[in-house]
Amino acid sequence: MLISKGILSSSGMIPTFTSLTRNVSNKSKTAIVMMNMGGPQKIEQVYDYLHNIMTDRDMIQLPFAQDHMGKWIAKRRTPEVQKKYSEIGGGSPILDWTNKQGELLCQKLNEVLPNYGPYKHYVAFRYVNPFTKDAFQEIKKDGVKQVVLFSQYPQYSCATSGSSYNAIYNYLKDNDEMKDLKISVIDRWSSHPLLVKCFANLIQEELQKVSEKNRKDTIILFSAHSLPLKAVNRGDPYPSEVGTTVNLVMNELKYCNPYQLVWQSKVGPLPWLGPFTDEAIEGYVKQGKKSFIVVPIAFVNEHIETLHELDIEYCKELAEKVGVEEIRRVPAPNIQPLFISALADIVKTHFENNIPVSRKFLNQCPHCINSNCYNSKKWYKSVARF
């Protein structure tokens, strides 16, 4: 029997947050800018979304003529990706989840760190609206002067967090109207104990739903977005930081089950970091393994890569094809109370430590040749302050 957790189960497909308060007071003292890749809310946005990704040299380095090749790739992939979004309800729920997370985070911060409040969250997506400029135009309108740039990727990668920070640098570096902003940076939080405990609790809940005969031998597959090996060899810290989260979660679980870190969402023909999630499932089935729990360890909310790639392509279609007996997918943290407490504690500790930008963030990868990255980090070093 196939048991799949995800798209039509309690993790939900698209949340309906229709009455967000958004902490709309113009008297807010501190802006929490929540940075992520984003996702198209409508089918009509898919091409622009893909085009923005494929022409971003921080995200993907095509061998030549990136603007032209990126446009061609985006156009070619659009129908396939539109079909996937139609199968999860017609758009990505990531903006709704991020807004709800931001709302609850600011409520929590007003309780635990009132001296820097009131707080208001702003969403800065990289490839679809609301973009960086949208967030900062709203900050300007609200007159907020203290800004925390809070990456919503727990594990840092130059292609994800790095691209978002570079986009903010490019928008603000010559913007005299916003030169008085007090900017600080939260760039990674892969080892935060409450994040670890949140994932551990979610895994334990799914393990209890596995049949007793399979529970002890169920393999926990920690699935994270892969990275081109070229980026790994350049020194991108992402693989090691994902591994850190995995090891801490398993330590919290007292290594109760066999487990493996696997990688998903490979794009294009170049070599990427493996083993890949789908191939790992196939390989384990050939070894006689019957039961799996899939954990989206690098994702903090539901979106196309959990709701379609994991739930439909792997936990449903692939599992049926290769003869998996039981497979469950752990939901992303979304608005779990423990996860919201983690976000609040990260911001609180950030202020209490009085370190506006970490030295790790300011240090480039050993083989980095990206001048935009160099200039961006130099700029953050000069402007970051409380």
Dist CA 25 CA 106 (whole Å): 12
Dist CA 88 CA 110 (whole Å): 35
Q: Both 311 and 257 in a single domain?
A: yes
Name beta bridge partners: 182: 146
pTM of the model: 0.92
The DSSP secondary-structure symbol of 114 reads G
pLDDT in tens, the chain (386 residues): 455 544 333 334 444 443 344 444 457 899 999 999 999 999 999 999 999 888 887 777 776 677 878 788 889 999 999 999 999 999 999 999 999 999 999 999 999 999 999 999 999 999 999 999 999 999 999 999 999 999 999 999 999 999 999 999 999 999 998 999 999 999 999 999 999 999 999 999 999 999 999 999 999 999 999 999 999 999 999 999 999 999 999 999 999 999 999 999 998 778 999 999 999 999 999 999 999 999 999 999 999 999 999 999 999 999 999 999 999 999 999 999 999 999 999 999 999 999 999 999 999 999 999 999 999 999 999 999 99
Burial class (CB in 10 A: 0-12, 13-18, 19+), 97: buried
User: In which domain, by residue range, is 224 found?
Assistant: 193-329
Dig out the tokens for 106 from the structure: 């600011």
Q: Both 323 and 212 in a single domain?
A: yes
- Find out whether 125 and 36 touch, Cβ atoms under 8 Å: yes
- Can you give the CATH number for the domain in which 120 is found? 3.40.50.1400
Q: Both 100 and 120 in a single domain?
A: yes
The residues assigned a catalytic role are 192, 345
Dist CA 206 CA 222 (whole Å): 14
Q: Both 77 and 148 in a single domain?
A: yes
Dist CA 156 CA 358 (whole Å): 12
Dist CA 377 CA 354 (whole Å): 19
Total domains present in the chain:
2
Q: What is the CA radius of gyration of the chain?
A: 21
Dist CA 181 CA 179 (whole Å): 6
Helix orientation angle between 94-112 and 337-353, rounded to the nearest 10 degrees = 60
Q: Both 249 and 307 in a single domain?
A: yes
User: Which of 292, 310, 329 is the last residue before a domain boundary?
Assistant: 329
Dig out the tokens for 257 from the structure: 């089950």
Q: Both 106 and 52 in a single domain?
A: yes
- Find out whether 284 and 265 touch, Cβ atoms under 8 Å: no
